[in-house]
Amino acid sequence: MVKAKKQRPVGGQLRQSQVLSTFGPGSMVDLPNQSVLIGGLNHWEGYKEQLIYEERLQKVLCTKLELNQVKLYAPPVDSSDPLASPTGISAFIFPTWFVAQVKDSVFISGDNGKSYQTRPLVPYKRLIKGQYLTDDKKKVPVVPVRFVQACLNGHISDIDWYAFVKNVCNCRFNTQLWLDESELSNDFTDIFIRCGSCNERRPFSDATIPGSAPLGYCKGERPWLGSNASEVCCNPDNGNPERNRLLVRSASNAYFPQILSVISLPEADADLKDAVSVVYEEFLQYAESQEDIKRERRKERVANALEGFSDQTIWEEVQKRQNPPEEASKTIKQVEIESLLSTDESLGSDVPQGDFYARTKPISELPPFLENKLERIVLVHRLKEVMALVGFTRFEAALQDIDGELSIGVRRAALDLESTWFPAIENRGEGIFLSFNKEAIKDWQLKEPVKEQGNKLYQGFVKWRREKGIKEDKIKFPGLPYIMLHSLSHLLITAVSLDCGYAASSIRERIYAGESGYGILLFTGTTGNEGTLGGLIEAGAKIEQYLSSALELGRLCSNDPVCAEHSPENQQENRPLHGSACHGCLLIAETSCERRNELLDRSLVVNTVANLNTAFFLDS
C-alpha cells in the first residue's frame, strides 16, 4: 500500500461533515493526479482536539456494537501552523494500477470493423516519478484505472490484471498489458485487456458475469487500515468465501456510510455535563476519588470550566461516565417522541447557544380534514443533532430501522483495527414537530381497502427482501402508519420548501411510528448557524396551510394515472417498496429522506385518481 504524500492537495480540502457523509474511512477520492483511499481511524492524527459528548448516542453504540466504552471525536482539522503537532487524515494511493495517457495511440481493427484505442496498463511500481516511460524514453502522464474489485463485506483491492488475462494466454506475469477501448462505445463488451507479448485479449465483460468468479475470491484486504490489515472474508450466512465483484471506482455504490444520529434533548444536569465534557478527556477521565478531582481543580483551565460545581457533584458525574449505569432500554426515537409529547408549553432553555428549545403551538380551530387527526404542534426553535459514523458498506446501503437504531446483521466494514471511538459532528438547526392521534390511525388501519393495500405493500416488501437475500428476522415490515407518515412528510417538505427560505434538500425528516406515538419532525441542521435562520419556525406558525398544500400536491401526479395505479407487486416496473410514488410526486433529495426514498405510497395519505379509498385524510 502506497501512502499519499503529506501535503495539501490541489483542489481544496474536505469539510468535517463530508468526512462523515461522503468521504469517510474506506472511501475513494479523486485528486487532480491520482485517486486515494481515505485512511482508517488508526491513520488519523490530532483527532482528540474536539471531544463530543452525547450520552444517549454513546450508550446505544455500546449496546449495539457490544463495546464497554465509546468516545466521539470530531474529524481533525488540518493545522496551518508548521510548528504544531501534525493533524489530519492520511490517505493511500488507490488503485495502484494506472493507464498511460499515450498521445500517439495505436488503433486495432476489431470485429465488425470496429476500431479500438489502446493504452498501456501499468502498476505503480513501474512508474518513474509518477509517470510512464515509453519505449523511446519519453515520460507521459498516467491516470488511475477506473476499475477495482470489492465484496459485500466492504473489502476492496486492485484487480489482478495478470490473472485476468491468464485465462487467454500463457505468457509470463510481468509482461506489458494494454487496455483496448472502443472509440464509439463505453460498454463493457467493447473493452478488452490485451497481453502485449502474444496479443491475446480477454473481453472485460467477463468480469460482469453473475454467478461466476472471473475476478477470483476475496482475500479480505482492507487497504484503508494499512498494509497488514487483511482478515478472513466469508459469507456470514453460509461460511463460503465471497466472490470479488467489479466496482467502478467513481460509481455511487462504491461507498455507503452508516451513520447513527440522535437529537440532543435537555436534561436537568445539562450544565454540569457540558462543564465536565470540556476537561474530562484531558484531566478527569482517570480520576479515582474526590481527592483527585480537588487536585485537578488547582489547574486554572479545570477551575474555570468547573466553576460553580462542588467536588462531590463533579466526582459523581465522572463516576457515571467511567461506569455508565444500566437503564431500561428505549430506542432512539422512542426517547425523542416521548420528550416532544411531554412538552406542556416549553422544553429546554431559550438561550443563544442552547442545544434545545421548543414551544407548543396552541391549536384553536382546525380545518375539517385535520379534525381528530392532528393532535399537537411543537415549534423547535433550537435543536442539536449529533451524528456518528460507525461503519460503511459497498454495493448496498445499510439503513437504520424505523426506530433509528443500527440494522441487525449488516455486513459493516470496520473503520479501525479496534473500535474505541468514532468520528462525529454536531449539527444545529430548527424544526417543526407534528403529532397525530393514535385512535384515528388505529381506526384507519381497520378499513378493508386499507388492509388490502397494506397486504400489497407487505408482499412487495417480502419480494424486495427475498431479492436482497435478507432473512426475515433481520428486517421487519415497518407497518402502514410509518409508510403513511413517511409519504406525508415528503409532501410536506415539498410544500414548506417553496416558501420557507430553505432548499428542499436542506430540510430533513424523522418519522415516529410506534407505541409511544405517531409524529413527524421536519428539521434543518448544519455544522454552522445557517440552519437556525427561522424559516421553519415561521412556516410552523401557519402549518395548517402547508398541510393543506401538501395534501393537494399528493392528489394528482404528473405521471398519473400510471403512478397512481402502480402496484408494489408489478414485475415490469420492479419497484416493490413503492405504492403510488414516483419522481413526479413523492421522491425527494436523498439527503432529506431517512429511507433513501423507499417505503412510500401517497394513496395512504389522500385519495388519488385510482380511487382506492385508502386515504388517512378526507378531502378538504
Mean pLDDT of 475-495: 93
The secondary structure element, H or E, covering residue 548 is: helix 543-555
pLDDT at 66: 84
Closest alpha carbon to 243 in 168, 156, 151: 151
| Most confident option among 71-80, 134-143, 163-172 | 134-143
Contact 557, 578 (CB under 8 A): no
Q: Which residue has the cell 432473512?
A: 471
Domain end among 216, 248, 280: 248
Q: What pTM was computed for the model?
A: 0.83
Q: What is the mean pLDDT of residues 443-456?
A: 94
User: Is residue 21 in some structural domain?
Assistant: no
Neighbouring-strand partners of residue 435: 376, 519
Q: Of 319-323, 339-343, 438-442, 569-573, which has the strongest mean pLDDT?
A: 438-442
Angle between helix 480-497 and 543-555 (nearest 10): 110
Cα separation values, 419 from 240, 431, 568, Å: 26, 33, 40
* Grid cell digits, residue 330: 428505549
H or E segment and range at residue 261: strand 256-263
CA distances from 142 to 138, 152, 471 (A): 13, 30, 45
Amino acid at 15: R
What residues have CB less than 8 Å from 410, skipping those under 6 apart?
258, 391, 393, 398
Domain assignment of residue 178, yes or no:
yes
User: Residue 528 pLDDT more than 80?
Assistant: no
**Domain-embedded: residue 553:** yes
Closest CA to 195 of 166, 218, 224, 222: 166
Residues spanned by the domain of 496: 340-385+407-418+430-604
Beta partners for residue 510, in sequence order = 521
pLDDT mean over 310-333: 79
Tally of structural domains, the chain: 2
Are residues 108 and 211 both part of a single domain?
yes
Q: Nearest-CA neighbor of 490 among 608, 612, 590, 399?
A: 590
The pLDDT of residue 8 = 40
Compute CA 390 distance to the chain's CA centroid, rounded to the nearest angstrom: 10
Strands 132-133 and 139-140: antiparallel
The answer to whether residue 54 is domain-embedded is: no
Q: Is the pLDDT of residue 336 over 50?
A: yes
Residue 496 sits in the same domain as residue 366: yes
Q: What is the pLDDT of residues 210-238, one digit of tens each?
A: 666 788 889 999 999 988 888 888 887 77
Show the DSSP H helices in 379-534 as ranges: 438-445, 448-468, 480-497
Q: What is the pLDDT of residue 533?
A: 63
Q: Is residue 546 part of a domain?
A: yes
Is the same domain home to 353 and 229? Answer: no
- Cα separation, 584 vs 591, whole angstroms: 18
For 555-612, give the DSSP string. Answer: H--TTTTTTTT--TT-TTTT-TTBSS--TTTT---TTT-TTTT-SB-GGGTS--TT--
Burial (CB count within 10 angstroms: exposed 0-12, middle 13-18, buried 19+), residue 353: exposed
Highest mean pLDDT among 115-124, 299-308, 425-434: 425-434
Grid cell, residue 169, equals: 494466454
Residues 6+ apart with CB under 8 A from 467: 576
How remote is the C-alpha of 160 from its chain's centroid?
30
* pLDDT (average), residues 292-298: 86
> 591 in a domain, yes or no?
yes
Q: Where are the alpha helices (DSSP H) in 7-114?
A: 16-21, 55-65
- pLDDT band of residue 436 (cuts 50, 70, 90) is very high
What's the pLDDT at 327? 57
Q: What's the rounded Cα separation, in Å, for the pair 162 and 242?
A: 21
Domain-embedded: residue 598:
yes
Same structural domain, 229 and 375: no
Residue ending a domain, choose from 248, 277, 299: 248
Task: Give the pLDDT mean for 250-258.
Answer: 88
- pLDDT given for residue 5 in this prediction: 45
Is 354 found in the same domain as 239? no
For residue 272, is pLDDT > 60? yes
**Torsion sign over Cα 398, 399, 400, 401:** negative
Does position 2 have pLDDT exceeding 60, yes or no? no
Residue, of 202 and 325, whose pLDDT is higher:
202
From the CB of residue 274, how many other CB atoms can be counted at a distance below 10 Å?
A: 12
- In a domain, residue 350? The reply is yes
210 & 357 share domain: no
Residue where a domain stops, chosen among 217, 248, 279: 248
Output the pLDDT for position 604.
95
Do 348 and 496 lie in one domain? The reply is yes
